[in-house]
Structure 1
């Protein structure tokens, strides 16, 4: 009788342990999943900048550029390899990557408005589009006024005619150093200038405030310097 009772007790113990094993396995899997999610979602604000390389090799249209990581404006573009387009900004006149933007409250927006102190650069694959220098020679003259206006220190301006694709804009050009820029006029917002150049299979588009043309030689030299820094000698 005692043997029978002992056998029944052992069977109950084994049966109880049999039920506990799946529960223990499920608990371990759940704990592992929670740990994985916590690891993936753990904030990395303090370590991102220190772990990123200072410069990234980026191929655009098959043309290689060596890009400062901190100058890349969009986080999604901060990786090496092939890209269709990349957007950069540099402080002027230092040409260093700008400092990280600080959070500004809605109440302080007007007080935070400052003159633009950056030169913006977009690099994109040209996909056999018309070259910038060809556009200047063959397209722009169709829409320009005949008269030109001599500017300061060797800079010349020609206005685009009204009711043309470039109405309300002016074309500035100089030879030494070379500069060609199409600029909007000051209105409710300050005028901005666009200057383009092609390197192999990529087009570089620089943007800067029109007011900088007062020091146009510095701006032209800055664009040449950035081009050399990013791509090397042509």
Structure 2
């Protein structure tokens, strides 16, 4: 009888000991599970799987210079990420300057028709790697190839033609002061002429491209380029 009572006490003690050891294990498991749930909540993506709620703007670094670019304006999907990039290519509707990368659809019935007018301003932001600055090129390189005579244009815009047989043959240089505008433009031929206007910001060069025909309202074009620059690198929103 004594032996049986002793056995019961030993069994009861073993159960109590196992229970006392089990409580810390259960508490530790609950704490671990709670921590994992919190981490999963904090790291869980907040956008939809189809990307419809992707950020409207992306901070990118080009030439160690930060730009806040509209996601929808980026023309190449491979460039649609934040962080350092060598180059970013953008497209904006004109004159609204809304971000848009959707190309116009051309059907088999319309592909042979007259070329549709371009309604966008294109912008490339690229690291310059200490190459000659755009304004220095205008002062030191272009004058070697320009005709001596200049032609006053409408509303304060001046044109100087590049000499034939030079690297810039069949192009013209346009410039104005208020607002500032410098653009090198090809002449109309089988395709409409296009203009290129460059500016440097820290470690990056900005290259704007637009139809030459827009120079009829050159002040609007110059202001549009200034606005885009300020919106992506400056105080503009």
* Bin of the TM-score, shorter chain as denominator length: 0.7 to 0.9
In the alignment, which of 74, 77, 82 is matched to residue 75 of structure 1?
A: 77
Pair 1:65-2:41 in alignment: no
Match of 2:232 in 1: 230
In the alignment, which of 108, 111, 119 is matched to residue 109 of structure 1?
A: 111
Distance 1:51 1:224 in 2: 29
Give the TM-score, by structure 2 length.
0.76
Higher helix residue share: 1
Match of 1:188 in 2: 190
Distance 1:102 1:183 in 2: 24
Give the TM-score, by structure 1 length.
0.77
- Contact map agreement 1:104 1:112 (CA 8 A) in 2: no
In the alignment, which of 211, 214, 217 is matched to residue 215 of structure 1?
A: 217
Distance 2:53 2:114 in 1: 31
Please give the root-mean-square deviation of Cα atoms over the aligned residues, in Å.
1.8
- Contact map agreement 1:54 1:70 (CA 8 A) in 2: yes
Q: Structure 1 residues 103, 190: CA separation in 2 closer, same or farther (over 3 Å shift)?
A: closer
Distance 2:76 2:196 in 1: 20
3-state SS of 2:95 partner: coil
- Contact map agreement 2:91 2:99 (CA 8 A) in 1: yes
Q: CA offset at residue 113 of structure 1?
A: 4.3
Q: CA offset at residue 99 of structure 1?
A: 6.2
Q: Structure 1 residues 181, 103: CA separation in 2 closer, same or farther (over 3 Å shift)?
A: closer
1:56-98 C-alpha deviation (Å, 9 max, x unpaired): 0000010000000000001111111100000001001000012
- Contact map agreement 1:70 1:98 (CA 8 A) in 2: yes
Match of 1:35 in 2: none
Match of 2:93 in 1: 91
Match of 1:126 in 2: 128
Deviates most, 171-180 or 89-98: 89-98
Q: Which has the larger radius of gyration?
A: 2
Distance 1:146 1:89 in 2: 35
Match of 1:157 in 2: 159
- Contact map agreement 1:184 1:210 (CA 8 A) in 2: yes
- Contact map agreement 2:214 2:221 (CA 8 A) in 1: yes
Q: Structure 1 residues 80, 197: CA separation in 2 closer, same or farther (over 3 Å shift)?
A: same
Q: Structure 1 residues 232, 174: CA separation in 2 closer, same or farther (over 3 Å shift)?
A: same
